Amino acid sequence: MHRTSRTTLRSARPAAVAALAVGLALLVPGSALAGTTAPTPVTTTTAPAPTETTSPTTGTGSTGSTTTATGGTGTGTGSGSTTTTSDSSTTGTPSSSPKSTSSPSSPSSSSSSTSAPSPRLVPGGNAQRYGMAAAAGPATSTDPTLVAAHYLVQELVRGEHHFSTVVDGVGTFADYGVTADAVLALDAAGAGQTEATATTSYLAEHAVDYIGFGDKTEVAAGPVAKLLLVASAQGVDPRAFGGYDLVATLESLAKPNGKYADQSKYGDYSNLFSQSLAIMALDRAGRPVPAQAVSFLRAQQCPGGGFRLFYPATGDQGAPCTDATAADPDATAMAVQALIAVASTSDSGAAAGLDYLASRQGADGGIGGGGPQTQRNANTTGLAGQAFLAGGRKAQARLAAEFLGNLQYDCSFPSTLRGGIAYDQTAFGAQKAAGSKAEPADQDRRSTTQAILALAGTPLYAVSATGADANAPALTCAAPTTSTSGTPSTSSSSSSSTSSSTDGTSTTAAPGEPGEPGAGGSGDAGNQPVASSTPAGLAFTGANLAVTLALAVLLLAAGAAAIAVARRKGSHA
């Protein structure tokens, strides 16, 4: 018995050592792994990425040798391939061919991708000039700039690549000016390039309608300048745009006194917007801006620093403004940007204009317009925000952006409105009161196009599509969970079927928000991304490290105890 006991104790020593070794082997890597893969809850989405669907354009003006970024038209990734088209015509209009449905080389967008607010100051761009399709962006986002771009994309798709305006008692007409503003806004936001490219093609096909009301002998200075800005930002040839050499045409409209005037048998209706756009467009296209043009612009500055919008009806239109009450905030914002584009941020005229705008900015960041639009609104504030950015007035620019953000439609509105920016608090309240019946308005589109540049952090003359994403993400909104008596509530991580919606978003089988149609219906049925909690950091497989660590500790304790007993009893063997 005594010998057997000693033998047993001796044999326990190697077993105890083995237990210690196994325990350490489990403990050390387990502790390290626990320190690097502790699950951190983050919000992702299970809804698939919205696709930028575009209707095929059948216009005959699509000519020239151009490279077009194409995007998916189904429920695919939202990215596209690059298609090069060549015709015998030399008008150089961007291609408006139907978008390809797939590409083996296209980057894919994860259905659960999200985006944090972007830190970029000057995003935007068009990859088509480099012979590559724009990459797919995130499916949803909370970035005010990106979701505002999504709103514009939805509206452009719905309008077949353009906006329209309704004239009571007359009819509905294409609004080419605001449509061009939308392209520049998408470029500044760095998103929605599939639709921006299609919309640019539409503008090229209808260039004569915008510039001359369908008559090639009629030439309006403002539209020519704005299309030149669009062509430059989009990276298409401005000298072969819809049958126009935009550069030569604009330069031909300059008068000896420096004014860019309309060429029309109906009269000259150009104003300070036309002059400012012309200066910025020529500079953006790399053309010299005549000194007379800048001098004519400076002459429109009134006492107090503001610029007048309209020229005197009689007399010398280049004579200095002497009436401070004639100053207009919108015109001032445009003139300041034009002066900074060709001069510098230290330009005295631009500085005085910025001081004028700052003096009109309220504590909430908003700025009111001139004439009857004296209430603080998104249009004027958006333009002023661009001017503040151009002049380096960061504090005022941030205030303007905050004002615009407070007018942005959030998840409590129908999906067709989300991301859009209301004209003012009255308009915002009216849409809020309409509930699920609220619909996008012409005023919303105008406000959003001018506000995006201020949110994106880029002045008008610096807009470029380089580096922009193919799509624009929808606003991240969590779908509400539901439960019924006697059944468990639905899990936020459960999967749901999806289908492509006509507004470019994806609809899910989850119920809609209160006051909106439920799943399976029309309208905004359940298009909310479903929020779920998943680990972040290193890949987390779901294994519970606590069990492993506990086992290691037990083995260590057992091994240590066995060795202690063996030593005590072995000393008497």
**Tell me: the pLDDT tens digits for 49-78?**
333 333 333 333 333 333 333 333 333 333
**In the predicted structure, residue 176 carries a pLDDT above the cut 70:** yes
DSSP 3-state assignment of 299?
coil
Angle at which helices 329-342 and 378-390 cross, to 10°: 20
Are the C-beta atoms of residues 51 and 75 closer than 8 Å to each other? Answer: yes
Alpha helix (H) ranges present in 435-527? Answer: 442-456
Range in 13-17, 294-298, 398-402 the model is least confident about: 13-17
β-partners of residue 167 are 171
Tens digit of pLDDT for each residue in 121-132? 233 333 333 333
Q: What is the pLDDT of residue 322?
A: 95
Residue 461, pLDDT score: 97
pLDDT at 198 over 60: yes
Least confident of 56-60, 178-182, 376-380: 56-60
State the pLDDT at residue 372: 81
Which pLDDT belongs to residue 538?
Answer: 29
> How does pLDDT run across 476-495, given as a tens digit for each residue?
998 765 544 444 444 333 33
pLDDT mean across residues, the chain: 73
Q: Residue range 199-224: average pLDDT?
A: 98
CA–CA–CA angle 181, 348, 335 (5° rounding): 20
- The count of C-alpha atoms lying within 13 angstroms of the C-alpha of 504, restricted to the half-sphere facing its C-beta, is 35
* Local structure of residue 129 (DSSP, 8 states): G
Least confident of 33-42, 262-271, 468-477: 33-42
Instruction: State percent of the chain over pLDDT 90.
Output: 55
> Which distant-in-sequence residues (6+ apart) come within 8 Å of 563 by Cβ?
13, 16, 17, 20
What's the confidence (pLDDT) of residue 171? Answer: 93
Note if the pTM is more than 0.85. Answer: no
Beta bridge partners of 124: none
Structure tokens at 511: 């119920």
Rounded Cα–Cα distance for residues 360 and 409 (Å): 25
Contact yes or no for 479/531 (Cβ under 8 A): yes
Asked if 134 and 244 count as a contact pair (C-beta separation under 8 A), the reply is no
Q: Model confidence at 44, in pLDDT bands (50, 70, 90)?
A: very low
pLDDT score at 139: 87
Beta bridge partners of 307: 301, 328
> What residues contact residue 488 under an 8 Å CB cut-off, 6+ apart?
none
Q: 62-66, 316-320, 388-392: which has the minimum mean pLDDT?
A: 62-66
Radius of gyration of the chain (CA): 31
Token pair in block for residue 6 = 């000693």
Tell which wins on pLDDT, 202 or 492.
Answer: 202
How far apart CA 45 and CA 219 sit, in angstroms, is: 50
pLDDT of residue 325 exceeding 90: yes
Q: Cα–Cα distance between 364 and 311 in angstroms, integer?
A: 32
